[in-house]
Amino acid sequence: MKILTVSGLTVEFNNHVILDDVSFEVERGDTLAIIGPNGAGKTVLFRALLGLIPYQGKITWDKDVRIGYVPQKLSIPKDIPLTVDEFLHFKEKNDDKIREAMESVGFLKKSKHLHNDFRVLNTKMGALSGGELQRVLIAYAHLDAPNVLLFDEPTAGVDVSGEETVYSLINKHKTREDLTIIFISHELQVVNQFAANVLCLNKEKVCFGPPNIAIDKESLAKMYGEDFHLYKHHE
């Protein structure tokens, strides 16, 4: 069953085409990765899917869709007097639901080896590491009980160990909750590991399908030029 159908999506800003006639479909329970160079229209596509900007064409979500969104990166001042608990209470007043969301991303589990106990709720948002912040943002998105999660480069500014944790969490939630996940990434290794399908963008659709089939030398050249480079983790 299709949860999302995009047909002829075109976005223009000040007569400048950002996305040109992009069409694709997402099946319920699928994991779709979106890749492309900077300026290819990836984040603009997300904004269109969320209904935040005007566009031409058609975007059709299934009638029972509930969307959670995790942004690329929040720039939070180190001295902002806002705790994790206060941040989560902006969306949800029920403490039990907040606890459940935080447990789902690995917090609030007491261990003699770990310190992810209730103290994290009293931690200032600006004092969190990159990986901790992304986990809090995932918990925040889960408070809406979504069946679709959009991740805009969920590991931007996160160290390698944090990246592995974030993607492991995403995969765990998908397996446990049968979520549909759409994420933006620059990392071919991550796309091959976690995505069932990939949408290659460079203002227009360059390729679409299973990563091992859709991503080839020709599609990479159309996105990144002949001298392309995708980030890879070192073993």
pLDDT in tens, the chain (235 residues): 899 999 999 999 988 999 999 999 999 999 999 999 989 999 999 999 999 999 999 999 999 899 999 887 677 788 888 999 999 999 999 999 998 888 877 786 654 444 445 678 899 999 988 778 888 888 898 888 889 989 887 665 555 555 556 677 677 766 666 789 999 988 888 888 889 999 999 999 999 999 999 999 899 999 988 766 554 444 4
Number of structural domains (the chain) is: 1
121 located within any domain: yes
The per-residue pLDDT for 58 is 97
66 located within any domain: yes
53 located within any domain: yes
- pTM for the predicted model, two decimal places: 0.82
233 located within any domain: no
Instruction: Look up the CATH number of the domain holding residue 144.
Output: 3.40.50.300
The per-residue pLDDT for 112 is 45
203 located within any domain: yes
199 located within any domain: yes
234 located within any domain: no
The per-residue pLDDT for 165 is 63
| Residue 122, domain extent | 2-224
84 located within any domain: yes
The per-residue pLDDT for 102 is 87
Gap between the Cα atoms of 108 and 128, Å rounded: 15
